A and B are shown apart, each in its own frame.
Chain A
Amino acid sequence: AQTVTQSQPEMSVQEAETVTLSCTYDTSESNYYLFWYKQPPSRQMILVIRQEAYKQQNATENRFSVNFQKAAKSFSLKISDSQLGDTAMYFCAFLYGNKLVFGAGTILRVKS
């Protein structure tokens, strides 16, 4: 079975600082996709970043980047220059077949 583990239930960071959210997953597949989704208080699910497992290069989207360690099955999200608008629940997700398997989420609070 595919599982996704986010070991940090809550985190906080000062505005303009950098924070890293952890995610590990378990799979026997060799080709797959990983995602980070953001869910602000509005509850809309917003895609932050995605990573194809066959790509060695870590994905980057503006202030968001990932550290993808395939052998360790680790997929952490780094947020640089944190902004108040980054306050949200962040979900790591693994695409298995045709369905997304989500981690339990990490609540991130950005403080001014």
Chain B
Amino acid sequence: DTAVSQTPKYLVTQMGNDKSIKCEQNLGHDTMYWYKQDSKKFLKIMFSYNNKELIINETVPNRFSPKSPDKAHLNLHINSLELGDSAVYFCASRLTGSSYEQYFGPGTRLTVT
């Protein structure tokens, strides 16, 4: 009965490759997020979708493209991977109008070599 799940949990790839990370939530939430945690553990929001509509798009290279096929899924596709993309990527979700708490997935550790 996982609330927010991400696949894969670990991803090792070479520079220049294209990769995707998937996120699914079964909480009935309507808003989903992608956060990036860098090597110094600093967490920063990247994107947010509400009911499949993009509502937050921070200053992120356009090599990163989120896609939300429905309210329960938010995927992150990364083109032409660079060394600096190595990080842990967290998906999160929440129900608008509720207690404002965001529920986080387990994270995906991306290593670019």
Chain A residues near B (Cβ < 8 Å): 33, 35, 37, 39, 42-47, 50, 89, 91, 95, 97-102, 104-105
Contacts and interface: CB of A to CB of B under 8 A. Distances in A.
Nearest to B96: A98
Interface residues of B, number: 26
A39 B44 CA distance: 15
A111 B81 CA distance: 41
Which residue of A39, A46, A100, A101 has the most chain B CB atoms within 10 A of its CB atom? A100
A44 B104 contact: yes
Contact of A43 (B48, B55, B96, B106): B106
A100 B88 contact: no
Contact of B102 (A44, A100, A101, A105): A100
Contact of B55 (A45, A98, A101, A105): A98
B43 A102 contact: yes
5 contacts: A44-B106, A50-B100, A95-B100, A98-B55, A99-B33
Which residue of A37, A45, A46 has the most chain B CB atoms within 10 A of its CB atom? A45
B56 to A, nearest CB: 6
A54 to B, nearest CB: 12
A91 B48 contact: no
B50 interface: yes
A94 to B, nearest CB: 11
Contacts of A45: 90, 92, 104, 107
Contact of B42 (A37, A50, A102): A102
Nearest to B100: A33
A34 B104 CA distance: 16
B41 to A, nearest CB: 5
A105 B1 CA distance: 29
Which residue of A46, A95, A99, A102 has the most chain B CB atoms within 10 A of its CB atom? A99
A91 B43 contact: yes
Contacts of B106: 42-44
B31 interface: yes
Given A98-B55, A100-B45, A102-B43, A50 B101 contact: yes
